[in-house]
């Protein structure tokens, strides 16, 4: 019998729609593997993420959790971008109560150094607009080495030590590596080109693909390769029934 101890900490990301944003999540999974993270990547997916994309994520060692969409009131979405409307669905992540701590990473983030120590920070580290306002007198923002937004490279270069950066957020217009053309403003910068290439180096590295479980002669299975099996068990046993609600693509 194989005794499986479920992890109580996890990285979490979010995916919606059927377009190419899944490439970002695959890249993130491989990046976490490259830096030898000890914790799984949980992908909160909306119902419109197709089975082929879910299988791709499972094959990369991710735990796939379907969530029910949350939409804001219709009278507040008239001028909102589609992607920001479905972002309310990320609140479902708070329902993942089997984890004591989670670190949320957007799908267009890449991790270039181990950041597992973030799980050991004291509670109360917030980095979101509402929380920054509500907790403005007590919050402690994380330094940009843990979330380098690429626009910082040309807006505040004096605050960026690129060789120290652990986490890069490819959220500037035109910077997502899987769509990069170099035609948008600032995308011809050498530092941007370097970071796009760095992302592709991780994504294209076959040695970083998830390795399936290895069963030894005595029947023991390597614990580090159990994550998709755990995910499958959780999906079959615990996944709630979710009514399908169409959602725009996260791309």
Q: Which residues carry out catalysis?
A: 90
CA 133 to CA 50: how far, in whole Å?
A: 37
DSSP-derived 3-state class of residue 164: helix
CA 7 to CA 12: how far, in whole Å?
A: 13
Query: For 123, phi and psi rounded to 5 degrees?
Result: -60, 150
CA 134 to CA 154: how far, in whole Å?
A: 29
Could you tell me which residues come within 8 angstroms of residue 44 by beta carbon, excluding any fewer than 6 positions away?
12, 13, 14, 15, 65, 66, 67, 89, 90, 92, 93, 96
The count of C-alpha atoms lying within 13 angstroms of the C-alpha of 72, restricted to the half-sphere facing its C-beta, is 15
């Amino acid at each position: 019998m194989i005794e499986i101890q479920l992890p109580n900490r996890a990285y979490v990301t979010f995916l919606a729609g059927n377009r190419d944003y899944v490439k970002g999540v695959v890249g993130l999974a491989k990046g976490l593997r490259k830096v030898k993270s000890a914790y799984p990547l949980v992908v909160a997916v909306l119902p419109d993420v197709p089975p082929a994309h879910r299988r791709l994520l499972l094959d990369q060692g991710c735990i796939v959790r379907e969530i029910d969409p949350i939409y804001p009131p219709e009278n507040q979405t008239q001028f909102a971008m589609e992607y920001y409307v479905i972002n309310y669905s990320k609140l479902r992540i708070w329902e993942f109560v089997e984890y004591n701590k989670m670190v949320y990473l957007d799908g267009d983030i890449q991790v270039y150094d181990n950041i597992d120590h973030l799980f050991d920070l004291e509670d109360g580290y917030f980095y979101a607009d509402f929380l920054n306002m509500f907790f403005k007198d007590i919050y402690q923002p994380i330094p940009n080495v843990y979330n380098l937004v690429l626009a910082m490279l040309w807006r505040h270069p004096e605050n960026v030590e690129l060789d120290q950066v652990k986490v890069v957020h490819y959220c500037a217009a035109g910077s997502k590596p899987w769509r990069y053309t170099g035609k948008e403003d600032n995308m011809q910068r050498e530092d941007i080109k370097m970071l796009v290439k760095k992302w592709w180096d991780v994504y294209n590295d076959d040695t970083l693909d998830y390795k399936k479980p290895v069963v030894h002669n005595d029947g023991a299975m390597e614990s580090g390769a159990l994550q998709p099996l755990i995910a499958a068990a959780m999906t079959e046993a615990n996944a709630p029934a979710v009514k399908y609600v169409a959602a725009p693509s996260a791309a």
